[in-house]
Amino acid sequence: MLRVLIATSNSGKLRDFAGAAKTHGIEIAGIPGFADIPLAVEDGQSFEANAEKKAQYYSRFAPGEVVLADDSGLEVDALGGAPGVHSARYAAAQPHLAVANTDDEDNNARLLSELAAVPIEQRTGRFVCVMAAARDGIPLATFRGSAEGMILNAPRGSHGFGYDPLFYFPAIHKTFAELSAEEKARYSHRGAAFRDALEWLFNSAPGM
C-alpha cells in the first residue's frame, strides 16, 4: 500500500484526505512527531506560495517520504477575496501579522459581522485549496482545487471545520458541514486538489 504523509496536525484535514484516499488503497498518515516540529512560517502572498513552502520545509523531517502540504481558505467576492490566505487567522486584530491560528467560531463570527449588510445573492465565494508535494526539501508538484458557493447568515451542520458551517454548496443544497467525509471528498476544493495529487502519485511520482 502506498503511503503519503500529510503535513498537518489538523484532524479535520486528515479526515478529509483519508476520505478521498479510501477508495484508492492509499494510506494517509501524519508526519511522525509533527507536534514537536517548529511551525513553518506562512508568509506567502498566495495559496501556492504557502503550500510549496510548507511542503518543502516539512519534508525535510521525513527523509525519503513524499509529503503533501496544503494551503487553503475562503475567498468572498463581496470582501475583495478576503479572508483568503489569512482564513485561519481572520479573527486576529491584524491577520496578516498573526502567527497562531484563531478559533473557528471567532473567524466565523468576524465573517458574519463583515457580511451583515450584504444581501444573500451577493454573498458569493469559493473555497480554494492548493496542495504541494515535496521530498527531502525538493518541490515535486502542485495541485489546485476550488468549490463555488454562498455564505449563509447562520451556520448549518455539525461536521467539518473552519468555515464549513457557513459555506452553502448550491449543487447539492447543503453546507460543507452537512456532508460526510466521503461526500466532502467528492465535492470539496480539497477533494479536487487531492484527486489530482492521487493521479500524479500513481502516474508521475518519482520512485513509484
Which residues are the active-site residues?
71
Instruction: Determine the Cα–Cα distance for residues 186 and 104; give it in Å rounded to an integer.
Output: 23
Instruction: Determine the Cα–Cα distance for residues 54 and 105; give it in Å rounded to an integer.
Output: 25
Instruction: Determine the Cα–Cα distance for residues 70 and 61; give it in Å rounded to an integer.
Output: 17
Backbone angles phi, psi at 119, to 5 degrees: -60, 150
